Structure 1
């Protein structure tokens, strides 16, 4: 359970940094926008992203496996951008959360989010490894 929480926090921090770096990706907090609301919004969006990526993302990767081989994995950029757009759509249904300005902003945001999450994961690998 604690590994899940650490991964959730890593994804939330990576999402926060992505919104600072990529102009077309932003997060709209719920409520009056105080610090607690902003943190909870990032955690909620990171949770939605984890569920979408874990369930739908894995299903797409299994079904589209021949396309991954054919394109040497470049289709993953498109799939990850679409998954980020899906997270933005789901969070818009609840009235707050992730906003992506377009498909290519989604692709760029997914690339930056993946790189930042990977880098934070490398730095915190001893912490994540100890929580098993």
Structure 2
């Protein structure tokens, strides 16, 4: 008789990403709201990196590098709107653009330098 009927080692019981998404959103919002550059960039990196992990884990992307680049483009667009449309939001826009630049660099470096795994 099985000790845990109905459970299989094939399926993971829980994903590690949702708590990081839940932390990334308020950290990024606090940094952007109170104009704290480092906190805003860190929160956006945590949020976008966690979403990328969820996308990869769900099987919507083969690697994590291209979704990182997509999030980088989105952050560039939002940061550009913030930085170049209102004088009061310039540093906040620069924080969003900086997070996008870091994500873009990670996406490009990962695509170029991380070897592809052989399928099992």
Name the one with the larger helix percent. 1
Shorter chain as denominator, the TM-score bin is 0.3 to 0.5
Name the one with the larger strand percent. 1
